[in-house]
Structure 1
Amino acid sequence: MQVALVQLASSTDSAANRELVETRLGGLDGAADLVLLPEATMHDFGDPQHDLASAAEPLDGPFVSLLAAQARRLGSVVVAGMFEQTDDLPFNTLVAVGPDGSLLATYRKIHLYDSFGYQESDRLRAGDIEPVTLKVGGTRVGLMTCYDLRFPELARAVVDAGAELVALPAAWVAGEHKLHHWRTLLTARAIENTVAFAAAAQGGRRYTGHSLVVDAWGSIVAEAGDDDDLLQADLDPADVARARDVNPSLANRRMRSAW
């Protein structure tokens, strides 16, 4: 499976972000099976007083329509983060759009970032507690978002739902220890679940950047820098099967999740 991770820094100007996405995806050649953009690509979080409800869009709004057009052009599955409009607080949502432009899946972030002095739940609502996966070619892909990475039970749930690759868009806020946590948690989730991770992060001054592709052995396949970047990697689902054969920790479990 060919994956492409587009690292960018979005702003609170949704129209400008659509132009940015169109430019960045326009530079791809269509070789990737899966194209991954960060959390909040549609519209940045802004400062804590910024009204995300007024910026939120429906699933048939201009942002998803743009992703659908690009997915059709590329012949790829495109996954990106947005704020989804509701009659109350919006969801922090990942949308997965298929090569025909159809909406394949939505994942509404379960674990809101009420940590490190920030309170995401003041402005957004949490999604239902349910793992979300989709097929990309012959590979089952699980969806997680940013802060979800700190909760190993969700990674285990998407793996129990069949995931061989976990796609994790993020806006991982920069700060002391944060890059170390990012790398460590991604490799830990990969190792303990014998699953590959593709993590597309926001770059720029506010966020950590360092989008990562990690294989099922926990080895870093590709890593971005701090600013705008593009990672491309070839992930072989057979390598996941080999890792699970050599290290059958999933099969050896004596405690299992409800999923």
Structure 2
Amino acid sequence: MSASLTEPSNVHLTVAACQISAGADPRQNLATATAAVQEAADAGARLAVLPEATMASFGTPLHEVAQPLDGEFADGIRALADRLDLTVVAGMFEPADDRRVYNTLLLAGPRGEVAYRKIHLYDAFGSRESDTVAPGSQLVTAVVDGVTVGLATCYDVRFADQFSALGRAGAQLVLLSASWGEGPGKAEQWDVLVRARAMDAQAWLLACDQAWTQPQGPAPLGIGRSALIDPLGGVCARLGHAAGVLTGRIDTEAVASARARVPLFV
């Protein structure tokens, strides 16, 4: 899906990052996600974002747990969104044609849904995501309560051009779901990158990571530090390493102001 660069009148939206720790069981992970999204809804959120790999953690045999977009996990996310009357974004794995899977973000809400397949695969720091995951190829945006949002996943954050492209496509908020691997300097890199990518998109950026989990080999299992970043790179809110729910309020006027003051998309 794509959107116009035309900016609407100022819109406010309460958003939440649901920082959870997923395990190997999709049903248990759905229950964990449901509790976190309920907490976000109780805090007034109209959009709740869960991490990459919410359905099943890395280190799980992904081709064995992968499900289609009309499977049990995705249907559970849709039912949750419908019951709470808000939009939910969750990371899941879809079967691909070659025994690999797609690393997918499902955005489901009362007024429709889209799915984004991760473009940049994490072949770095000793991991080889491309051995088990097939890459996507399409940028995705959608409109949620009058705000155009773009979708990105974890390692995508190292590729500035993807975020500039989302900004050019009209995204006023970029949702970044992640399972960011632990390691020397990785927390500092995460903090820098999420701020930089908000500035590249000239948009709000809501980054939701898996809560910190004890490392298990090269599998990226999360460090926490979910954050809400404004269009000029300011940190509006940030969680620590533990599971929790971050809520914040964004406005599209901040996007229009940043783009007028620093006209990158001309």
Letter of the structure 1 residue corresponding to residue 160 of structure 2 = P
| Runs (5+) with no aligned partner, structure 1 | 252-259
Letter of the structure 1 residue corresponding to residue 105 of structure 2 = L
Any idea what the Cα deviations from partners look like across 1:26-58, whole Å, max 9, x if unmatched?
Answer: 333272221100000000011xxx421011011
Corresponding residue number in structure 1 for 2:6 = none
Corresponding residue number in structure 2 for 1:5 = 17
- Measure, in 2, the Cα distance between the counterparts of 1:223 and 1:79: 19
Any idea what the Cα deviations from partners look like across 1:103-134, whole Å, max 9, x if unmatched?
Answer: x1110000000000100001110012x21100
- Measure, in 2, the Cα distance between the counterparts of 1:224 and 1:107: 25
Q: 2:120 aligns with which of 107, 111, 115?
A: 111
Give 3-state SS (helix, strand or coil) of 1:22's partner.
Answer: helix
Corresponding residue number in structure 2 for 1:91 = 102
Give 3-state SS (helix, strand or coil) of 1:131's partner.
Answer: coil
Q: 1:186 aligns with which of 184, 194, 217?
A: 194
Does residue 122 in structure 1 map to residue 131 in structure 2? yes
- Measure, in 2, the Cα distance between the counterparts of 1:23 and 1:188: 31
State the TM-score, normalized to the length of structure 1.
Answer: 0.91
- Measure, in 2, the Cα distance between the counterparts of 1:26 and 1:240: 28
- Measure, in 2, the Cα distance between the counterparts of 1:165 and 1:13: 31
Identity of aligned residues (%): 40
- Measure, in 2, the Cα distance between the counterparts of 1:14 and 1:33: 24
Are the counterparts in 1 of residues 96 and 134 from structure 2 also a CA contact under 8 Å? no
State the TM-score, normalized to the length of structure 2.
Answer: 0.89
Corresponding residue number in structure 1 for 2:241 = 226
Does residue 204 in structure 1 map to residue 204 in structure 2? no
Give 3-state SS (helix, strand or coil) of 1:54's partner.
Answer: helix
| Runs (5+) with no aligned partner, structure 2 | 1-12, 216-221
Corresponding residue number in structure 1 for 2:250 = 235
| Higher alpha-carbon deviation: 199-208 or 138-147 | 199-208
Q: 1:68 aligns with which of 61, 78, 91?
A: 78
Any idea what the Cα deviations from partners look like across 1:3-28, whole Å, max 9, x if unmatched?
Answer: 01100000011121112112222333
Runs of 4+, deviation exceeding 6 Å = none
- Measure, in 1, the Cα distance between the counterparts of 2:146 and 2:36: 26
Give 3-state SS (helix, strand or coil) of 1:169's partner.
Answer: strand
Task: Considering Cα pairs closer than 8 Å and 6+ residues apart, tell me whether 1 or 2 has the greater RCO.
Answer: 2
Structure 1 residues 30, 105: CA separation in 2 closer, same or farther (over 3 Å shift)?
Answer: farther
Give 3-state SS (helix, strand or coil) of 2:42's partner.
Answer: coil
Give 3-state SS (helix, strand or coil) of 1:192's partner.
Answer: helix
- Aligned-pair distance for 1:64? 0.9
Does residue 148 in structure 1 map to residue 156 in structure 2? yes
Q: 1:213 aligns with which of 228, 235, 254?
A: 228
Letter of the structure 2 residue corresponding to residue 23 of structure 1 = A
For the aligned residues, what is the CA RMSD? 1.3
Are the counterparts in 1 of residues 93 and 104 from structure 2 also a CA contact under 8 Å? yes
- Measure, in 1, the Cα distance between the counterparts of 2:200 and 2:193: 10
- Measure, in 2, the Cα distance between the counterparts of 1:26 and 1:163: 26
- Measure, in 2, the Cα distance between the counterparts of 1:218 and 1:35: 21
- Measure, in 1, the Cα distance between the counterparts of 2:31 and 2:196: 36
- Measure, in 2, the Cα distance between the counterparts of 1:243 and 1:204: 33
Corresponding residue number in structure 2 for 1:36 = 49
Any idea what the Cα deviations from partners look like across 1:138-163, whole Å, max 9, x if unmatched?
Answer: 11100000000000111111111111
Are the counterparts in 1 of residues 81 and 108 from structure 2 also a CA contact under 8 Å? yes
Give 3-state SS (helix, strand or coil) of 2:177's partner.
Answer: coil
Give 3-state SS (helix, strand or coil) of 1:144's partner.
Answer: strand
- Measure, in 1, the Cα distance between the counterparts of 2:52 and 2:142: 18
